[in-house]
């Protein structure tokens, strides 16, 4: 592939508490603020607690999920008395860190999350052709040994991109699990801290002119579809738990015929798709209200070009 040169990343943002009960990001942002960390080499570093009201009550959100409020449509919707808190906050964050799609936006935005699913360290973004993000992923994957490292891509155009990281010119989420919501585990915190350190390290190297060689990155997963909990037709209650053979086995292979759910009656529901896929976000607490048991992904490898900062 032809080498690529991209503009320096002079403004970096790190966000925690986008979901108020995902504690690693909350404590990491607070710790960086306590240390008064405001620069990463030549870049400025802005740290933000995205949803302070939700953090205050240690809940995912107060009115509506903040991390679904960053579509173009919601960001430009008129504000009335009935506007939910998180929609107003999203528009504030868009002013602070964006505007989304605009030259004034943060060069790099990294949003910190936890999951109850056994996903290790996952980077989540909307494209596998953002070379800044792909090179950061490669560095994290090479340097971090305390957890498996993977990349998840959601195939959506920028206008429909709904999460906070889409405000930055380059944006991604760092998702670390498993951790119960409302809890901070030292091992999980330390993994997230390592990932943030590697990210800021890469940014400094990039800005100072390092040449990053091209190559292949693997463990890249593309979202295909969601699988929903079976419900009792009479009561509409969820009628099964994730099967013990699928529980905690995020990113393993799910073959046609493999068990998915163990009904409370004892019956086993099996995967009946035709394609062998990889489950992730298996038994994520926050997805029960959407009835989502897990997502399925296709695994791929991506070729990335050599990358260097653009010299003026």
Partner 1 sequence: MTSSTNVSCFHEARRVAIFGGTHGNEMSGVTLVNLWIQNGKEIQRKGVETKPFITNPRAVEKCTRYVDTDLNRAFTTENLSAPSGDDLPYEVQRAQQINEIFGPKGSPEAYDVIFDLHNTTSNMGCTLILESSKDYFNLQMMHYIKNAIAPDSCPVLLTEHPLLKYSTSRSVAKHPIGLEVGPQPQGVLRSNIFESMRVVLKHALDFIELFNKGLEFPPCTVDVFRVSEKMDYPRDTNGNIIAMVHPNLQDCDWEPLNPGDPMFQTFDGTTIRYEGAGTVYPTFINEAAYYEKQQAFVTTRRETLAAGAIKKT
Q: Which stretch binds partner 1 (CB under 8 A): 39-47, 154-162, 215-223, 282-290?
A: 282-290
Bin 203: left if φ > 0, else alpha if -120 < ψ < 50, else beta: alpha
Nearer of residues 131 and 287 to partner 1, judged by Cβ:
287
230 in contact with partner 1 (CB under 8 A):
no
31 in contact with partner 1 (CB under 8 A):
yes
Q: Give the other-Cβ count within 10 Å of 255's Cβ.
A: 12
As measured in angstroms, the least distance from the Cβ of 287 to partner 1 is 10
285 in contact with partner 1 (CB under 8 A):
yes
79 in contact with partner 1 (CB under 8 A):
no
192 in contact with partner 1 (CB under 8 A):
no
Sheet holding 149-153, edge to edge: 39-40, 43-49, 11-16, 108-114, 170-177, 120-125, 149-153, 215-228, 292-304, 278-280
4, 156, 205, 241: residue in contact with partner 1 (rule CB under 8 A): 241
298 in contact with partner 1 (CB under 8 A):
no
181 among annotated binding-site residues: no
Nearer of residues 203 and 239 to partner 1, judged by Cβ:
239
What six digits make up the tokens of 130?
């953002």
186 in contact with partner 1 (CB under 8 A):
yes
**What is the pairing mode between strands 11-16 and 43-49?**
parallel
268 in contact with partner 1 (CB under 8 A):
no
- Which of 175, 216, 274, 284 is catalytic? The answer is 175
Distance, CA of 92 to CA of 99 (rounded, Å) = 10
- Are the C-beta atoms of 281 and 229 separated by less than 8 Å? no
How many chain residues touch partner 1 (CB under 8 A)?
Answer: 35
269 in contact with partner 1 (CB under 8 A):
no
Q: Give the burial string for 148-186 (b: 16+ CB within 10 Å, else e).
A: ebbbbbbeeeeeebbbbbbbbbbbbbbbbbbbebeebbe
278 among annotated binding-site residues: no
Distance, CA of 156 to CA of 4 (rounded, Å) = 24
86 among annotated binding-site residues: no
Report CA torsion sign: 301, 303, 306, 309. negative
As measured in angstroms, the least distance from the Cβ of 210 to partner 1 is 27
284 has catalytic annotation: no
- Are the C-beta atoms of 21 and 286 separated by less than 8 Å? no
Q: Which stretch binds partner 1 (CB under 8 A): 31-39, 122-130, 158-166, 205-213?
A: 31-39
Residues with active-site annotation? 175
Residues marked as binding for Zn(2+)? 19, 22, 113
Residues that bind partner 1 (CB under 8 A): 27-28, 30-31, 34-35, 58, 116, 178-187, 189-190, 235, 237-238, 241-244, 247, 262, 264, 283, 285-286, 288-289
């Amino acid at each position: 592939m032809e080498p690529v040169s991209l503009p320096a990343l002079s403004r970096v943002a790190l966000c925690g508490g986008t979901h108020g009960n995902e504690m690693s990001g909350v404590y990491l942002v607070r710790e960086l603020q306590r240390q008064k960390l405001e620069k990463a080499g030549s870049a400025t570093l802005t740290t933000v607690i995205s949803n302070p009201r939700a953090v205050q009550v240690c809940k995912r959100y107060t009115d509506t999920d903040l991390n679904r409020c960053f579509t173009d449509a919601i960001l430009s919707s008129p504000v009335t008395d009935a506007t939910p808190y998180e929609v107003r906050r999203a528009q504030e964050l868009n002013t602070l860190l964006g505007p989304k799609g605009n030259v004034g936006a943060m060069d790099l935005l990294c949003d910190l999350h936890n999951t109850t699913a056994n996903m290790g360290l996952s980077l989540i973004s909307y494209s596998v052709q953002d070379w800044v993000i792909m090179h950061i992923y490669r560095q994290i994957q090479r340097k971090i040994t305390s957890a498996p490292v993977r990349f998840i891509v959601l195939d959506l155009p920028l206008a429909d991109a709904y999460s906070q990281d889409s405000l930055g010119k380059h944006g991604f989420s760092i998702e670390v699990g498993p951790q119960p919501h409302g809890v901070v585990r030292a091992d999980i915190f330390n993994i997230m801290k390592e990932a943030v350190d590697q990210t800021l390290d890469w940014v400094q190297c990039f800005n100072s002119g390092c040449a990053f060689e091209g190559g292949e990155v693997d463990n890249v997963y593309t979202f295909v579809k969601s699988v929903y909990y079976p419900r009792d037709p009479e009561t509409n209650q969820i009628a099964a738990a994730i099967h013990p053979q699928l529980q905690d086995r995020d990113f393993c292979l799910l073959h046609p015929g493999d068990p998915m759910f163990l009904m409370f009656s004892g019956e086993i529901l099996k995967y009946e798709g035709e394609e062998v896929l990889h489950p992730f976000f298996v038994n994520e607490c926050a997805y029960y209200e959407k009835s989502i048991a897990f997502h399925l992904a296709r695994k791929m490898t991506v070729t990335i070009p050599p990358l260097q900062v653009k010299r003026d």
